[in-house]
Amino acid sequence: MIVDATTRRAHAAEVRAVFDAVVVGAGFAGMYMLHRLRGLGFSARVFEAGNGVGGTWYWNRYPGARCDVESLQYSFSFSEELDQEWNWSEKYAPQPEILSYANHIADRFDLRRDIVFDTRVTSATFDEEAKCWLTETDRGDRVAAKFLIMAVGCLSAPNRPNFAGLEDFRGPIYHTGQWPHEGVDFTGLRVGVIGTGSSAIQSIPIIAREAAALTVFQRTATWSVPAWNEKLTPEYLRAAKADYPALRAKARGRPTGFYFPFNTEPALEASQEDREKQYEQAWARGGLPFLGAYGDLLFEKAANDTAAEFARRKIRSLVKDPVTADLLCPDNVFGCKRLCVDTGYFETYNLPHVKLVDVSRTPIERFTADGIEVDGVEYPLDAVVCATGFAAMTGSFDKIRITGRNGLTLSEKWRAGPRAYLGIASVGFPNLFMITGPGSPSVLASMIQAIEQHVDWLADCLAHMRDVGATTIEPVLKDEDAWVEHVNDVSTVSLRSTCSSWYVGTNIPGRPRVFMPYIGGFPIYVQKCNEVMSGGFDGFVLEGAQDSNAAPQVRYTERWRVPIDIEVISPAAVAARRVPVV
């Protein structure tokens, strides 16, 4: 029995309604887009499949879910009042608190009245004559809008591998990305977890506390650094808030869009002794900033090997059984797949009722009525958790039939990999915009900053179209091609492109191998977006504009026109296209 976390409320379908914009999704991206559209006097309808706001933080309610960018930075930065009034309780806030924050945003900015919940967009078709999008939902809505804005998230289409015998299994099967709202009580049960990515790393230690027996099925061992999560004291919060605007501004100049100490020196030029000290300090600080211990860790394999060796020694020191410790030691590039951040993950394997099963050489054969079979051995289970990730970046687009000019669907256009100019728009799909789409920094930046920058840019773009009377905007093919080539090109400089991961789509068999997010650095990307706007939307065609030479007015993007942090992103690094993105 596959357990799904959906319930539905009554809904009267809207037919023939007309808006300036339809927004798909009411996560952080959809909410902020709605806020900006309202600010510009545009009418908008937001459709959301869940029955509440929050997106990722609405669906991913598995035990232990929390952010791994510090909460003080993993939050909206567009309102200083909001920054001052909201108090995060922990360095890395747990999912319920982030969801409360999302709800606070919805209430504080009065967003709910334009959001239709429990409603999934099924198709969107561009009407070439009327120059608008007709959007249809699974509740019978048929709504026309000039602009279609996809705020569907990068990691929101769950990957549910089609294991043989799934239907035979007698117990419940959960997916971390669609967790039941009422929670799950594993007390006294024999639980299996499939996968060892971020979701598994966070949930395994908590599930182990309840379960009578826990079996983890690991295909690829995972690099993880301790979070050292802690409560934030009132004194700490007061001091941080006294300087909040400065922190926000510093973050915008950083390759990842969030701030942490970064050492640009190369690991290979340090002595063995100094490296050891540096890694110990970085481990003691914990979290994603570990990758900022040296500037060459994601560019030079030999440098990366020094960090990998250090982290393997840590794993061996944490896990008592040497065979299990060996299995838990990854042999791929450190930080190649997204680095995980944990609390007591490796130590969990010291518990007598926790077992690790290697499925790297002999995959999961089948589900049986009573468990999972691997290499002829049946592991008896009462419940299974699939922590098997997502069809990243494009999965949520594929679920909607999006038809542009000449009947071409977006899925057809993207069959060999996504193609979008700046990760914002795609040729053949006029007036369709993506927030943190493929080809933008998105998942390689702090997500909320990446969202805000896109939304602010879009708000200025839409206002400009209104100013000049443009009916449509669409990228120019040669500019889109050049951007896609650049995104691909710059990815080859990073070791991140060398392994199989959801960044390149190969976590799911049959998907094309394309490095999807932009790894050239958040500020470099923002600079490009600013230049495109200052140049009158270079690389785009605006149809119907009465004054196509009018300079765009900068309304919301001003705060993104910040100097690049030259300590971290030197001109030499830019020239060599080695901008360290953690």
User: Would you tell me how many other CB atoms lie within 10 Å of the CB of residue 197?
Assistant: 22
Considering only CA atoms, give the Rg of the chain.
Answer: 24
- 304 binding ligand N01? (CB under 6 A): no
CA distance 14 to 139: 9
502 binds ligand N01, rule: CB under 6 A? yes
In the complex with ligand N01, the residue whose CB is nearer, 121 or 201, is: 201
Q: Which of 54, 287, 389, 521 binds ligand N01 (CB under 6 A)?
A: 389
20 phi and psi angles, rounded to 5 deg = -70, -40
Would you count residue 344 as binding ligand N01 (CB under 6 A)?
A: no
Number of residues forming the site for ligand N01 (CB under 6 A): 28
Distances (CA, A) of 390 to 158, 367, 387, 433, 466: 4, 21, 9, 22, 37
Between 23 and 155, CB nearer to ligand N01: 155
Question: How many CB atoms lie under 10 A from the CB of residue 291?
Answer: 23
Q: How far apart are CA 195 and CA 526, in angstroms?
A: 35
202 belongs to the binding site for ligand N01 (CB under 6 A): yes
* Window 390 to 409, contacts with ligand N01 (CB under 6 A): 390
> Nearest approach, Cβ of 444 to ligand N01 (angstroms)?
10
Q: Which is nearer to ligand N01, 222 or 409 (CB)?
A: 222
Hey, what are 310's tokens? 């250090």
431 binds ligand N01 per the rule CB under 6 A: no
Q: Which residues pair with 358 in a beta bridge?
A: 218
Contact call for residue 364 and ligand N01 (CB under 6 A): yes
463 is a contact residue toward ligand N01 (CB under 6 A): no
Tell me the two tokens of residue 18. Answer: 């007309």
- Both tokens of residue 424? 């914002």
Residue 122 Cβ, how far from ligand N01 at the closest point, in Å?
Answer: 25
Minimum separation from the CB atom of position 441 to ligand N01 (A): 13
- Residue 165 in the binding site for ligand N01 (CB under 6 A): no
Cross-sheet strand order for the sheet of 354-358: 173-175, 383-386, 190-194, 213-218, 354-358
Q: Is 99 in the site for ligand N01 (CB under 6 A)?
A: no
CA distances from 436 to 85, 274, 452, 536 (A): 27, 39, 9, 21
Spatial contact of 143 and 125, defined as CB atoms under 8 Å apart: no
136 touching ligand N01, by CB under 6 A: no
Min dist CB 463 to ligand N01, Å, is 32
Question: Residue-wise over 7-31: b if at least 16 C-beta within 10 A, else e?
Answer: eeeeeeebeeeebbbbbbbbbbbbb
Backbone dihedral angles phi then psi of residue 97, each to the nearest 5 degrees: -75, -35
Instruction: Output the smallest distance, CB 62 to ligand N01, in A.
Output: 8
* CA-based nearest residue to 195, from 447, 425, 507, 511: 507
Tell me if 68 contacts ligand N01 by CB under 6 A: yes
| SS3 annotation, 103-115 | HHHHHHCCCHHHE
Minimum gap (Å) between residue 364 Cβ and ligand N01 = 5
When asked if residue 330 is in the footprint of ligand N01 (CB under 6 A), the reply is no
Closer residue to ligand N01 in complex, CB, 153/552: 153
With binding defined as CB under 6 A, does residue 388 bind ligand N01?
A: yes
End-to-end CA distance of the chain: 39
Question: Binding of ligand N01 at residue 91 (CB under 6 A)?
Answer: no
DSSP label at 444?
Answer: G
Interacting stretch for ligand N01, rule CB under 6 A, among 191-199, 460-468, 476-484, 490-498? 191-199
Enter the DSSP assignment of 409. Answer: B
211 lies in the binding site for ligand N01 (CB under 6 A): no
| 196 lies in the site for ligand N01, by CB under 6 A | yes
Q: Should residue 197 be labelled a site residue for ligand N01 when binding is judged by CB under 6 A?
A: yes
Q: Kindly indicate which of the ranges 115-123, 216-224, 239-247, 282-290 contains the residues binding ligand N01, using the contact rule CB under 6 A.
A: 216-224
Q: Is 157 in the site for ligand N01 (CB under 6 A)?
A: no
* Amino acid at position 422, single letter: L
Which of 43, 79, 103, 220 is close enough to bind ligand N01 by CB under 6 A? Answer: 220
Contact between 67 and ligand N01 by CB under 6 A: the answer reads yes
Q: Which is nearer to ligand N01, 42 or 174 (CB)?
A: 174
- Give the separation between CA 439 and CA 484, rounded to whole angstroms: 7
According to the binding rule CB under 6 A, does residue 438 interact with ligand N01? no
Q: Name which position in 54, 195, 255, 520 contacts ligand N01 (CB under 6 A).
A: 195
- Residue 200 as a binder of ligand N01 (CB under 6 A): the answer is yes
Positions touching ligand N01 (CB under 6 A) are 67-68, 155, 161, 176, 194-200, 202, 217, 219-220, 338, 341, 359, 363-364, 387-390, 443, 502, 507
